[in-house]
Structure 1
């Protein structure tokens, strides 16, 4: 329980301690590790920082990204939850990472975009959460976003998280996430 509190505290500090001018926050929800028997719910917050874009010749303008993800295993559904004794966190894991993304606009109006990204981060399972074999994990992701209205975006993304065989095992996870967000600049 102490580790869970420390992780949540670190996530809050991570989200609010940095300079948040010109950032977009993409809340995402979906299925974590759908190819295996995990059946977990994924809740991800991807922060795209427009203050510190990186311009690399031949690659173009890369955006810095930050991810905070929580994975809740719901193999038995939510019927077994008993919030009074905190049994809900028995199958919980989290990922915090940083990386780069490069949007490619597929239409002239920039309404439809394809966004590949790559990040490196720290993964922690709690109690019965999935053991990924090593705390350092790499995430590669592709997303398709549509600007439905003037200030909002809907999208879908697929990502793979693994430790690139640097750990004692590398089960990896394949995830599908959906997003709907208001495009706010703080």
Structure 2
């Protein structure tokens, strides 16, 4: 139990320190980025894998340059074909490599299994990496991989691994 509380506390403290030490300068961009994605939920579990779709919002007015790079909050939701759903909010880092963008993120959220996989707890943590490429007119196309886990908060912690194809658009 102490290990669980310590892990969660470290994650919360890490996020707070990152935003507290943020430089107040903002990157000049359009203020809203939407990420529409679809893919396969829990592709590594043949019995419970399912198609998924989702949307994620990023307000780039809230970007901050920190010692970890450029960070911004993200909020989103995804749903599977088995009516499992996940609503989350967290933080995403942004690293540009020419016309490629590398975006790791961490987001705790609420998971409802619906008719899908029982992940063991309503509170799940999403760790994700996304690689996208710039397109014309403030658009991007990419791929991402995420892992959902409850950090052993529940009686079981099977986790779920998913891959997605992403279309991102700035508004």
Normalising by structure 2, what TM-score? 0.78
Distance 1:104 1:184, change over 3 A: closer
Give matches, 1:141-156, under 5 Å.
Answer: 141-156=128-143
CA distance in 2, matches of 1:104, 1:34: 27
Unmatched segments (≥5 aa) in structure 1:
1-20, 73-90
Unmatched segments (≥5 aa) in structure 2:
1-29
CA distance in 2, matches of 1:54, 1:134: 32
The 3-state SS of whatever aligns with 1:132 is coil
RMSD: 1.5
Count of residues paired in the alignment: 141
Query: 1:60 is matched with which residue: 51, 58, 69?
Result: 69
CA distance in 1, matches of 2:124, 2:64: 23
Give matches, 1:91-110, under 5 Å.
Answer: 91-107=82-98
The reply on whether 1:114 has 2:102 as its aligned counterpart is yes
Q: Deviations over 1:14-62 (max 9, x none)?
A: xxxxxxx922110000011000022301111111111222443x21321
The 3-state SS of whatever aligns with 1:102 is strand
Residue number in structure 2 paired with 1:170: 157
The reply on whether 1:184 has 2:161 as its aligned counterpart is no
CA distance in 1, matches of 2:84, 2:36: 18
Query: 1:125 is matched with which residue: 113, 123, 148?
Result: 113
Q: Deviations over 1:75-116 (max 9, x none)?
A: xxxxxxxxxxxxxxxx31100010111111111xxx211110
Distance 1:119 1:39, change over 3 A: same
Query: 2:31 is matched with which residue: 9, 18, 22?
Result: 22
The 3-state SS of whatever aligns with 1:169 is coil
Residue number in structure 1 paired with 2:60: 50
Q: Deviations over 1:99-158 (max 9, x none)?
A: 111111111xxx2111101000000012x3211100000000000000122322110000
- Larger Rg: 1 or 2? 1
